[in-house]
């Protein structure tokens, strides 16, 4: 089947902008907050409304396409990542930030065909910043081409590493151990609370790497293409190709830095999406 990738790309940008207005409106209002897998895994009525809006726009324009959305999966729908054209959506990536009035919130929209990401859009409506990418066409921030940092050693790098929202078991302890190992090997660490934004900052050279265990396909799908199209690498933290449903990701400005991080961290195996 022939695909008009440019039409998909333009549609995704228009849908992201429309959804961004709903996020902006909700950001400055009192929120109704519910919890999901832990007291730190939040969802609001805006997450739900934005996902429904995005899903309805894509399903009416591309009725044969499939859809994977964070809140639809949280509501019980199985996360089925197949070869079919599939829109992979996080309606608000950085819900914790949204609830606390921190502006680093994003709408992450990706399209995968044969399990390959061909369109990636990360729209940050409060920061008025949109990252866009189409397979083979580079990565942009507000229409301007972006590229990863030229720094090629971990000791000279800023590494973005999140604490995540797991509060039980050994996951949080292992993650804090990994934070210490990265601090001891780098210029320092940062965390912005949104995997999609973390990856876009690596893509634009404002950080040399991002690593996280515990994320989901909807958090990273768009960011994967944006980093790759900006000249970066995206791999499994243990090494090897990135596995979108493995719930772990490592991206970096160079293979060298990715390899140096992979060698120092303790890896975590999680239930797949």
Q: Residue positions in the annotated binding site for Mg(2+)? A: 70, 90, 92-93, 219
Q: Does 90 bind ligand LIP (CB under 6 A)?
A: yes
Residues numbered 194 to 223 that lie near ligand LIP (CB under 6 A) are 194-195, 212, 215, 219
d(CA 199, CA 209): 8
Q: Does 71 bind ligand LIP (CB under 6 A)?
A: no
Q: Does 51 bind ligand LIP (CB under 6 A)?
A: no
Q: Which is nearer to ligand LIP, 72 or 165 (CB)?
A: 165
Q: Which is nearer to ligand LIP, 52 or 152 (CB)?
A: 52
Catalytic residue among 54, 68, 88, 92: 92
The CA-to-CA distance between both ends of the chain, in Å, stands at 28
Catalytic residue among 47, 51, 71, 93: 93
Among 20, 85, 94, 125, binds ligand LIP (CB under 6 A): 94
Clarify whether 219 is annotated catalytic. Answer: yes
d(CA 108, CA 117): 13
DSSP state, residue 83:
S
Among 51, 70, 229, 273, binds ligand LIP (CB under 6 A): 70
Q: Does 164 bind ligand LIP (CB under 6 A)?
A: yes
DSSP of 4-45? -HHHHHHHHHHHHHHHHHHHHHHHTS---EEESSSTT-EEEH
d(CA 182, CA 104): 23
Clarify whether 83 is annotated catalytic. Answer: no
DSSP state, residue 104:
-
3-state secondary structure of 135: coil
d(CA 84, CA 218): 16
d(CA 206, CA 260): 19
Q: Are 181 and 171 in contact (CB under 8 A)?
A: no
**Cα-atom radius of gyration of the chain, to the nearest Å?**
17
Catalytic residue among 47, 51, 71, 90: 90
- Binding site: residue ranges? 70, 90, 92-93, 219
Clarify whether 266 is annotated catalytic. Answer: no
Contact letters for ligand LIP, residues 114-153 (x by CB under 6 A): ----------------------------------------
Catalytic residues: 70, 90, 92-93, 95, 219
Site residues for ligand LIP per CB under 6 A: 70, 90, 93-95, 162, 164-165, 194-195, 212, 215, 219
């Amino acid at each position: 089947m022939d695909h008009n990738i440019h039409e998909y790309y333009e549609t995704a940008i228009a849908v992201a902008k429309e959804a961004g207005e709903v996020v902006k409106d909700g950001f400055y209002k009192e929120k109704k907050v519910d919890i999901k897998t832990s007291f730190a895994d939040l969802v609001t009525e805006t997450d739900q409304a934005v996902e429904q809006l995005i899903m309805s726009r894509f399903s009416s324009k591309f009725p044969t396409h499939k859809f994977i959305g964070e809140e639809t999966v949280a509501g019980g729908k199985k996360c089925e990542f197949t070869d079919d054209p599939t829109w992979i959506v996080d309606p608000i990536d950085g819900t914790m930030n949204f609830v606390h009035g921190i502006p680093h919130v994003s709408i992450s929209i990706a399209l995968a065909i044969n399990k390959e990401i061909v369109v990636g859009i990360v729209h940050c409506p409060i920061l008025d910043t949109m990252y866009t990418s189409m397979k083979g066409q580079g990565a942009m921030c507000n229409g301007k081409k972006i590229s990863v940092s030229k720094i090629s050693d971990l000791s000279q790098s800023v590494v973005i590493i999140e604490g995540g929202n797991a509060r039980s078991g050994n996951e949080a302890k292992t993650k804090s151990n990994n934070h210490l190992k990265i601090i001891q090997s780098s210029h320092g660490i940062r965390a912005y609370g949104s995997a999609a934004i973390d990856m876009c900052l690596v893509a634009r050279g404002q950080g040399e790497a991002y690593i996280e265990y515990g994320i989901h396909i909807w958090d990273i799908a768009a960011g994967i293409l944006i980093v790759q199209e900006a000249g970066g690498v995206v791999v499994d933290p243990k090494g090897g190709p990135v596995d979108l449903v493995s719930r772990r990701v490592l991206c970096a400005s160079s293979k060298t830095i990715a390899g140096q991080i992979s060698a120092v961290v303790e890896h975590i195996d999680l239930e797949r999406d």
